[in-house]
Amino acid sequence: MANTFAFAELRAGSARKVAFETVTAARAAADATGGGEVHALVLGGPGASAAAAQLARYGADLVQVVEHPALALGNPEVFAATAAARIKAGGYRAGFFPASAQGRDLAPRVAAALDLPLASDVTGFEITGDALIARHPAYIGKAVATLRLAATPALVSLRPGAITPVEQPRAGRVEMVEPALDPAQARVVVTAVTDRGAAKLDLGEAPVVVSGGRGLKAAENFRLVEELAAAFGNAAVGATRAVTDDGWRPSTDQIGQTGRMVSPALYVAVGISGAIQHLAGMRTARVIVAINRDKDAPIFKVADYGIVGDLFEVVPRLTEAVRKAREEH
Amino acid sequence: MKIAVCIKRVPDTEMRFAIAANRTSIDPAGLKFDLSDFDGYAVEVALRLVEKQPPGEVVAITLGPDAAQETLRKALSMGVDRGIHLAAAEVPFDGLAIARALAAELKEGGYDLILFGRMATDSGNGTVGPMTAELLGLPCVNAVSGLELAEGRGTAQRELEGATETVSFPLPAVLTIDEGIARPRLPSLKGIMSAKKKPVESRPAALGPVRLTVDVLELPKERAAGRIIGEGPDAVPELIRLLREEAKVL
């Protein structure tokens, strides 16, 4: 029997979906090794402890909470020092972080501070005897590595969206703890977190992603992509590298080898030829729809449903049909 | 200002590749190798910082087999002043083993700034930069998409999911660089010629213990072959039907 650790990420005082994913993974790891406890760590400003009840729902037995006015926006050095101290004191079999923007910074530093290896950006795992076996996309998603992590605790960062949160309520008793580093001593200070549009769904979390490529011909034609996304109601807008390089869209919208990796339930590629660099970022989508005028475009090799045609005719019709379909249901 | 840029030689992943017979690596036959994508941005950032505020020195450091020296020459041809090659027959998958060797090299270097790409495009780990910072006890900002330096301090932007974070930090510091911050320059002919004369030192890499290894490397399951359902706007009703009844996503 062994306890496990989960880092629970907050944004603006609320638990992010990735927090439920790390707790779910820690629950699975604890249950697979004889049913130990899951200890979640939350750091934030005053009121951060409110996240504890949500984490309990996904299987946290104990939620350790650090509340400090200087931590409301996050503080990488205080977070890393505190996570390292809790893991060191806890005698855990495994520790889980999200491979989110925050977690990709935090997890390697915690690992180095504890002199432990880290399996990063993991999409699945199991614990067998003294090793943790993890799956990790390598070569930008063009290969899958099965990794062997020979260390205890086994530290893992999980690719957002790879683990489905499962509700399995536990007590979630709250323990207030002190930060392991005085926030006044931190050298790196977060001075602002600016939302890029509160209503906008994040590419990594949206169930539907509608993306546009060079086939749109001009920046202003992205309106067609945005209208289609709006018709779905639960869609984020992405773009190819060619489009973000040309400044039609911000670089944060880029999907592909050097941009975001997404696995939505539905991916709609509009005017995208399907360069390998782009496919690397979206080929794990459950369903792919492609609209392109060139029937030989590589995107049609991966598209479950392809329409060959002029996107300027097809997309407005599709937008209208999606809107109608959603009104009917 | 003295800046170190840690770079990696990686296979060009735009090309098709096969898994090697040992099933734990890719078959290098016929592959081209180059500077990892994000590392090119890190080199560009370093060069621009020194150009903006001379004098300064940019040192590129790589860890890998002898062939990694070609990658150093690429950085030198872009304008980097000198190169350091930490020789290792193979680059381990364990980021901490690599970070140990880099930290040992960087420790006494007197660098104001140590830059990395935010991840290598082969292993896809993105762990070596922050781990090296921790081992050196230096401040670290990961996945930087915007950067200003003034009077011994820096301000950096990072892209979070749906938000942009601004952080302030003192030098010396370790930064990992995201794409989009500054498009890497192409080496000029003059740069390529002068790179041949720039100094490159080589010494064995002091790797740490390797506790994270690859059991098996496989190609991902292929998607079922694509299917074209029709042409032009007239195909839209059929698409809606399929999305609703077959794929159940609408």
**Residue B111, domain CATH:** 3.40.50.620
Residue B25 lies in a domain: yes
Distances from the Cα of B92 to the Cαs of A96, A117, A295, B196, in angstroms?
22, 12, 43, 29
Start-to-end CA span in chain B (Å): 56
Q: Does A150 sit within 8 Å of B220, measured CB to CB?
A: no
CA distance A270 to chain B (A): 13
Closest residue to B14, CB basis, from A102, A104, A277: A277
Q: Tell me how far apart the alpha carbons of residues B79 and B43 are, in angstroms, rounded to a whole number.
A: 9
A191: chain B residues, CB-CB within 8 Å: 155, 166-168
B126: chain A residues, CB-CB within 8 Å: 104, 108, 120-121
**Residue B66, both tokens:** 């002898």
B101: chain A residues, CB-CB within 8 Å: none
pLDDT in tens, B137-195: 999 999 999 999 999 999 999 999 888 999 999 999 999 999 878 889 999 999 999 99
Residue B231 lies in a domain: no
Nearest chain B residue (CA) to A275: B14
Q: Does B121 sit within 8 Å of A109, measured CB to CB?
A: no
Domain that holds residue B104: 2-204
DSSP state of A61: S
Q: Does B38 sit within 8 Å of A117, measured CB to CB?
A: no
Beta bridge partners of B242: none
Q: Does B145 sit within 8 Å of A196, measured CB to CB?
A: no
Nearest chain A residue (CA) to B212: A149
Residue B228 lies in a domain: no
Triad A87, A90, A95: Cα angle to 5°: 45
Q: Does A309 sit within 8 Å of B159, measured CB to CB?
A: no
Beta bridge partners of B58: B3
Residue B215 lies in a domain: no
Which residues of chain A have a pLDDT value below 70?
Answer: 197-200, 329
State how many domains chain B has: 1
Residue from A128, A139, A261, A262 to probe the interface with B (highest B Cβ count within 10 Å) = A139
Residue B172 lies in a domain: yes
For position A197, what pLDDT does the model report? 63
For position A327, what pLDDT does the model report? 82
Residue B221 lies in a domain: no
Q: Does B228 sit within 8 Å of A266, measured CB to CB?
A: no
Closest residue to B130, CB basis, from A108, A201, A314: A108
* Interval B216-228 mean pLDDT: 88
For position A201, what pLDDT does the model report? 77
* Interval B216-223 mean pLDDT: 88
DSSP state of A202: P
Closest residue to A187, CB basis, from B96, B139, B232: B139
Q: Which of B174, B169, B117 is nearest to B140 (CA)?
A: B174
Distances from the Cα of B187 to the Cαs of A43, B75, B197, in angstroms?
46, 8, 15
Closest residue to B229, CB basis, from A244, A275, A305: A305
Residue B78 lies in a domain: yes
Q: Which domains does chain A carry?
A: 4-185 (3.40.50.620), 208-328 (3.40.50.1220)
**Residue A16, both tokens:** 């992010």
CA distance B242 to chain A (A): 8
A120: chain B residues, CB-CB within 8 Å: 95, 125-127
Residue B32 lies in a domain: yes
For position A233, what pLDDT does the model report? 86
Residue from A152, A232, A307 to probe the interface with B (highest B Cβ count within 10 Å) = A307
For position B15, what pLDDT does the model report? 76
Residue from A188, A262, A300 to probe the interface with B (highest B Cβ count within 10 Å) = A188
On the CB side of A221, how many CA atoms lie within 13 Å of its CA? 17
For position B161, what pLDDT does the model report? 85
